[in-house]
Amino acid sequence: MSLLVIGIALWALAHLFKRLAPDARAKLGTPGRGIVAVLILLGLAFIVLGYRAAPFVSVWTPPSFMVHINNLLMLIAVFVYGMSATTGRLRGKMRHPQLTAVKIWAVAHLLVNGDLASIILFGSMLAWAVAEVVIINKNSDWDRPEPGNAKKDVLLVVITLVMFAVITGIHAWLGVWPFPG
């Protein structure tokens, strides 16, 4: 479990570094991006290894219908995440689509995972995403981008469905079938 906690701490601190210590981050210059990227990847590796190795400690048993809610929320999370890259009409509808997607992803997984490692992982990621949004909103203004072509939103829907299928496939490959039998 400690590897999981170390990974989460590395992930969060590396992401928050430029917001909490902007002068220190600026002093690192362009090479600082590489350092931060390595810390994020190291944190992610620790998270995966720590989560997979964590003992199963049941805290609560989610009701089976939560799987359907999780799947719907995950589809929404993939779509919202994609909004950050769209150049369609939806561009600019939301200030923090990636962080909002992380929050939706975390809540969705908290609904279907009642073990301690999952609560630590998904709860921490939810807290991190909320903290990021609060800090960004407090420290910077936002210039809403102009909406683009609606055809790009149709493309976003198609990409969302493909990515959802890929994510489902990865879960199945890892031994977690995301759809009830």
Q: What is the 3-state secondary structure (H, E, C) of the chain?
A: CHHHHHHHHHHHHHHHHHHHCHHHHHHHCCHHHHHHHHHHHHHHHHHHHHHHHCCCCECCCCCCCHHHHHHHHHHHHHHHHHCCCCCCCCCCCCCCHHHHHHHHHHHHHHHHCCEHHHHHHHHHHHHHHHHHHHHHHHHCCCCCCCCCCCHHHHHHHHHHHHHHHHHHHHHHHCCCCCCCC
Q: Are the CB atoms for 133 and 19 separated by under 8 Å?
A: no
Which pLDDT belongs to residue 169?
A: 94
Residue 54 pLDDT: 97
Q: What size, in residues, is the chain?
A: 181
pTM of the model: 0.92
Neighbours of 1 (CB within 10 A): 14
State the 10-residue block means of pLDDT for the chain, 181 residues long.
97 94 90 94 97 97 94 97 90 92 98 97 98 94 88 95 95 86 67
**pLDDT score at 92:** 84
Give pLDDT, residue 122: 98
Handedness of CA 46, 37, 127, 85 (dihedral sign): negative
